[in-house]
Amino acid sequence: MSQEETSFEISNHQEHQEVSYEHEFNWDDEYTKDNYAESTDYQEPASQTLKQYLEDIFHLIPINEKDQAIISLLIDSINEDGYLEEPLDYFLASIPKEYEVSIQEIESLLKLLQKQAPPGIGARDLIECLTLQLESKEETPIHLLSIKVIKSHLNLLASRDFVRLKKILGCEDEVLRDVQKIIKSLNPKPGNIFSTIESHHFIQHEVNVKKVRAKWQVSLNEQAIPKLRLNHIYRDLIKNSQNDMPHHLSSQIQEAKWIVKNIQQRFITILKVSEAIMRHQKDFLDYGESMMKPLVLREIAEEVGLHESTISRVTSNKYINTPRGIYELKFFFGSSIDSTSGNELASTAIRAKIKEVIKQEDPKKPLSDNEIVLLLKSQDINIARRTVAKYREILNIAPTNLRKIL
């Protein structure tokens, strides 16, 4: 169906610690949450924080009061990425003197924590984090070689110095490819699995948009609207009173009615703004992010008759459920870039095109930023090399030399 044939309709019916090599070595290509969750040693928590998960583990392990106190201090010092933020000698000063704890005892309890926690949690640096994850797996020659690379040659792997690495390890391309694949399957921030689950668990979209009979319909998500009404006892009081209701009660009832009306009005505003945004971004609904149109707050403000600051508030932390996923409403705003054909393109669309170009490149000969500039130019998109580099960094895509594989 062509763009012209697909109309757009608004439905008023309300439906339903920084560590070495972390940035140089890019895990984003191959690491996903599912890789980690597949481990037989790890069971995905049900919307728990990392701290809660670790505390629950050690409540079930019979250890004495002193060890429990030290474990609690260690857990409190683990950041959201899963790393121990403080050096071990820090805990010597924090533990009550009557416990008479040695650094060796703290080290031993840290190892216990690392063993009981999901692999990689409680590490003091990236090398220890990755090593812990591999040591939790079955010991094989390729895993042992991978541990050797992590402990002694991670810098060479990060810089893609494959020739030197093969010479040091005495291996062929195929073996090194397997090592690289294993290391890239590890999670450099194992604690993030908890924060990701927690943050996604509480997202509730306020608006839906879907195509019904070739027309895009926008409606409120009824589950997101608070079910508020005035208690029937007080409604009856209002009906039966003959101007003799106590002033304070009358005032409170009016305030309650105002609150209910204000919430209803807020959702009506969210719907109006969402309708206007989707009219402007219909090409996104039909074709994806690469067809996003430039859009600024002022345009929507003028269209719906509200102030720009109101549009900003309404679109922040408010979400719309589309066939392409759930997006924050402010996602659909973006600056414009002129194309050589005279059409304006949204910066979001340019980023989507860059992402697609890199996705289709030969991984053995990745494209340079200059080559991406030329490819975009062939599509009537004229942007500078530094703009490509900037957008690539926003997308968390590594530079050419770090995208190269064997």
Q: What is the pLDDT of residues 315-349, one digit of tens each?
A: 988 999 999 999 999 999 987 776 555 566 778 88
Beta-bridged to residue 295, according to DSSP, are 334
Residue range 22-40, pLDDT digits in tens: 434 554 444 443 444 344 3
Residue 66 placed within a domain: yes
User: Which tokens is 305 given?
Assistant: 């008759």
Q: Are residue 177 and residue 252 in the same domain, yes or no?
A: no
Residue 17 placed within a domain: no
Q: Is the pLDDT of residue 237 over 70?
A: no
Q: Are residue 328 and residue 341 in the same domain, yes or no?
A: no
Burial 8-27 (b: 16+ CB within 10 A, else e): bebbeeeeeeebebbebbbb
Q: Are residue 296 and residue 347 in the same domain, yes or no?
A: no
How far is residue 188's CA from residue 191's CA, in Å, rounded to a whole number? 9
**Looking at residues 208-229, what average pLDDT do you find?**
89
Q: Are residue 322 and residue 358 in the same domain, yes or no?
A: no
Residue 350 placed within a domain: yes
Residue 12 placed within a domain: no
Side-chain-side CA neighbours of 321 within 13 Å: the count stands at 15
Q: How many CB atoms lie within 10 A of CB 75?
A: 21
Q: Identify the pLDDT of residue 243.
A: 62
> 94-100: which pairs have CB atoms within 8 A and are 24 or more residues apart?
95/69, 95/70, 96/69, 99/66, 99/69, 99/70
Q: Identify the pLDDT of residue 202.
A: 63
Q: Are residue 55 and residue 175 in the same domain, yes or no?
A: yes
Q: Identify the pLDDT of residue 293.
A: 87
Residue 1 placed within a domain: no
**Looking at residues 86-113, what average pLDDT do you find?**
85
Q: Identify the pLDDT of residue 159.
A: 83
Q: Are residue 189 and residue 53 in the same domain, yes or no?
A: yes
Q: Out of 6-15, 129-138, 391-400, pick the least confident.
A: 6-15
Residue 221 backbone dihedrals phi, psi, to 5 degrees: -85, 105
Q: Are residue 308 and residue 261 in the same domain, yes or no?
A: yes
Q: How many CB atoms lie within 10 A of CB 246?
A: 10
What's the predicted TM-score (pTM) here? Answer: 0.48
Q: Tell which wins on pLDDT, 352 or 209.
A: 209
Q: Identify the pLDDT of residue 47.
A: 55
**Looking at residues 244-251, what average pLDDT do you find?**
65
**Looking at residues 97-106, what average pLDDT do you find?**
84
Q: Identify the pLDDT of residue 128.
A: 95
Residue 18 placed within a domain: no
Q: Are residue 313 and residue 355 in the same domain, yes or no?
A: no
Q: Is the pLDDT of residue 351 over 80?
A: yes
- Band (52; pLDDT cuts 50, 70, 90): confident
Q: Are residue 268 and residue 137 in the same domain, yes or no?
A: no
Residue 362 placed within a domain: yes
Count of structural domains, the chain: 3
Residue range 357-390, pLDDT digits in tens: 998 998 888 999 999 999 988 888 888 888 888 8
Q: Identify the pLDDT of residue 246.
A: 63
Q: Are residue 293 and residue 346 in the same domain, yes or no?
A: no
Residue 201 placed within a domain: no
Q: Is the pLDDT of residue 198 over 60?
A: no
Average confidence score pLDDT of the chain: 80
Q: What range does the domain containing 221 cover?
A: 207-332
Q: Are residue 214 and residue 289 in the same domain, yes or no?
A: yes
Q: Are residue 42 and residue 182 in the same domain, yes or no?
A: yes
Which of the listed residues 143, 162, 194 is the one where a domain comes to its end?
A: 194
* Residues counted in the chain: 406
Q: Is the pLDDT of residue 200 over 60?
A: no
Which of the listed residues 332, 348, 372 is the one where a domain comes to its end?
A: 332
Q: Out of 61-75, 203-217, 253-267, 333-347, pick the least confident.
A: 333-347
